[in-house]
């Protein structure tokens, strides 16, 4: 099959990956209602079809944080994305750079920030989870600074990891008794193509940014256990003040779904918020991101930038989100499906597909640039 859209890449990823890894990427929390609503609610948004306007040249470029980007799309931070292809995050960052969009590395990546930065020309964005060990947290920020990172995403919607049934069933998370059994199961269930590429059996090759605290012999089980023990559930707005005081670059708060929280983030000096429910992986039953977006756009209008993620699966969805008040969107699963299916080429292809779809959607809605993509194009 020649992949034509993001759904096709999802199917290719499913074919290639061991089951537990595909389920980890693809799944959401509890009954996955919010996960489903993220995509379904976007698709319900109708645009006005406009005709007979000169749309022979369509410009998808945007300005964000003083830089020009080719598309209003950011590759979202995805934990252990590097398990999907050898040096996966490096490949994805290279694809993003080639396409002219930002790449954001997760705190819990498989490749370290140094390794990823080494593979690209320009600094990358970095995402921070609040870790109980503040010394480790500060050291991580220093490492990001040392790699030239000027944009920090502080993720606030995961003070505790949510319950994801698919990961419990696959043995990726859950009781240690099952984990030990599933380690054997995982090895026997691995797809040969994937195992060949990634090399080591179900084990991140470098353990990324948290390698210094895990030691050399740690594998995926130790990685997971560390995460569960070290996420800081006591974070408050005071923590944000502390980070703001320590980070001179752009600070973006990721995981805002409520207008009051968006206002608070703006008040405390955030440069942007990301309207997000973590791709339906945290509070199931929360609003879909696209549902939450308009009220947040109203609340902070113009004061700070607004990004949105969770459920974007086409260029048409990007146009919808921008029309409803986002300055740009982030994509999580789509780039990981691309990476899993076809490595760097897959990520590039996903970005090219989104761009082409966006161009067509803009043209048929009568828009030649992103300034024209606003409420007036909604039906
Ligand atoms: C995520 N997300 C995420 N966010 C974050 O800030 N740090 C992280 O480490 C991760 N890890 C992660 C793993 C996986 C497998 C997924 C799917 C997502 C959330 C991510 O940044 C983004 O908000 C969502 O993926 C957006 O939704 P879509 O595009 O996947 O629908």
Phi-psi region at 247: left, alpha or beta (left = phi > 0; alpha = psi -120 to 50):
beta
| Residue 87 near residue 119, CB atoms below 8 Å | yes
- pTM score, whole prediction: 0.95
- Residue 53 among known ligand-binding residues: no
Per-residue model confidence (pLDDT) at position 222: 75
Q: Which two tokens stand for residue 87?
A: 């040096």
Using alpha carbons, list the distances in angstroms from residue 28 to 31, 52, 129, 167, 311: 8, 43, 19, 9, 12
Predicted confidence at residue 201, as pLDDT, reads 43
Among 74, 79, 330, 336, which residue has the most ligand 1 atoms within 8 Å of its CB, making it the best to mutate?
79
Cβ 101 vs Cβ 71: under 8 Å? yes
Give, for ligand 1, the residue of 152, 312, 332 to mutate: max count of ligand atoms closer than 8 Å to Cβ.
Answer: 332
**Per residue in 311-369, pLDDT tens?**
999 999 999 999 999 999 999 999 999 999 999 999 999 999 999 999 999 999 999 99
Ligand 1 nearest atom to the CA of residue 109, by list position: 9
280 is in an annotated binding site: no
Asked about 205 being catalytic, the answer comes back as: no
Alpha-carbon distance 266 to 50, whole Å? 36
Q: What is the DSSP letter of 137?
A: H
Q: Are 182 and 167 in contact (CB under 8 A)?
A: no
SS3 325: coil
Name every residue whose Cβ is closer than 8 Å to that of residue 88 and which is 6 or more positions away in sequence.
81, 82, 110, 111, 339, 343
Please, which residues have CB within 8 angstroms of residue 135's CB and are 6 or more apart in sequence?
Answer: none
Name the residue among 272, 294, 219 with its Cα closest to residue 66: 272
320 is in an annotated binding site: no
Which atom of ligand 1 is least distant from the CA of 331? Answer: 29
Instruction: Assess contact for 100 and 78: CB atoms under 8 A.
Output: no
CA–CA gap between residue 179 and residue 169 (Å, rounded): 10
May I ask the CATH architecture of the domain 6-164+229-377?
Alpha-Beta Barrel (3.20)
Q: Which atom of ligand 1 is nearest to the CA of 104?
A: 21
165 is in an annotated binding site: no
Locate the domains of the chain by residue range. 6-164+229-377
- Cβ–ligand 1 contact at 126 (below 6 Å): no
> Do the beta carbons of residue 238 and residue 226 sit within 8 Å?
no
Residue 198 near residue 85 (C-beta atoms within 8 A): yes
Q: What is the pLDDT of residue 336?
A: 98
- Say what the ipTM of the complex is: 1.00
Interstrand relation of 272-275 and 125-128 (parallel, antiparallel or unpaired)? unpaired
Full pLDDT tens readout for the chain, 379 residues: 899 999 999 999 999 988 888 999 999 999 999 999 999 999 999 999 999 999 999 999 999 999 999 999 999 999 989 889 888 999 999 999 999 999 999 999 888 999 999 999 999 999 999 989 888 889 999 999 999 999 999 999 999 889 999 988 887 775 444 454 445 445 445 566 666 666 544 444 556 888 888 776 666 677 777 878 888 999 999 999 999 999 999 999 999 999 999 999 999 999 999 999 999 999 999 999 999 999 999 999 889 999 999 999 999 999 999 999 999 999 999 999 999 999 999 999 999 999 999 999 999 999 999 999 999 999 9
Q: Which of 10, 278, 305, 344 is catalytic?
A: 278
pLDDT of residue 118: 95
């Amino acid at each position: 099959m020649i992949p034509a859209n993001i759904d096709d890449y999802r199917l290719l990823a499913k074919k290639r990956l061991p089951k537990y890894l595909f389920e980890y990427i693809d799944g959401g929390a509890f009954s996955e209602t919010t996960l489903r609503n993220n995509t379904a609610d976007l698709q319900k948004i109708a645009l006005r079809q406009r005709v007979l306007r000169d749309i022979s040249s369509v410009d998808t470029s945007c300005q964000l944080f003083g830089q020009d980007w080719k598309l209003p799309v950011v590759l979202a931070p995805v934990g252990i994305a590097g398990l999907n292809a050898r040096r996966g995050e490096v490949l994805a960052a290279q694809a993003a750079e080639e396409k002219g969009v930002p790449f954001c590395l997760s705190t819990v990546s498989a490749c370290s920030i140094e390794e990823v930065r080494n593979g690209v020309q320009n600094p990358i964005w970095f995402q921070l989870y609040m870790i109980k060990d503040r010394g480790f947290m500060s050291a991580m920020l220093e490492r990001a600074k040392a790699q030239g990172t000027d944009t920090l995403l502080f993720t606030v919607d995961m003070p505790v990891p949510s319950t994801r049934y698919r990961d419990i069933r696959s043995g990726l998370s859950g009781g240690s008794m099952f984990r030990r059994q599933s380690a054997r199961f995982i090895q026997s269930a691995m797809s040969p193509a994937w195992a060949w590429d990634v090399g080591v059996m179900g084990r991140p090759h470098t353990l990324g940014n948290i390698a210094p605290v895990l030691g050399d012999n740690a594998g995926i089980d130790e990685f997971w256990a560390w995460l569960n023990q070290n996420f800081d559930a006591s974070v408050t707005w005071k923590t944000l003040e502390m980070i703001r005081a320590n980070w001179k670059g752009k600070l973006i708060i990721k995981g805002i779904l409520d207008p009051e929280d968006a206002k608070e983030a703006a008040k405390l000096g955030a440069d942007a918020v990301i309207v997000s429910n973590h791709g339906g992986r945290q509070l199931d039953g929360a609003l879909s991101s696209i549902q939450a977006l308009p009220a947040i756009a109203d609340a902070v209008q113009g004061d700070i930038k607004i990004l949105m993620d969770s459920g974007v699966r086409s260029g048409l969805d990007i146009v919808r989100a921008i029309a409803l008040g986002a300055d740009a969107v982030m994509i999580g699963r789509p780039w990981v499906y691309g990476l899993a299916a076809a490595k760097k080429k897959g990520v590039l292809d996903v970005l090219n597909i989104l761009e082409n779809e966006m161009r067509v959607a803009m043209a048929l809605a009568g828009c030649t640039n992103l300034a024209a993509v606003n409420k007036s194009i909604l039906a």
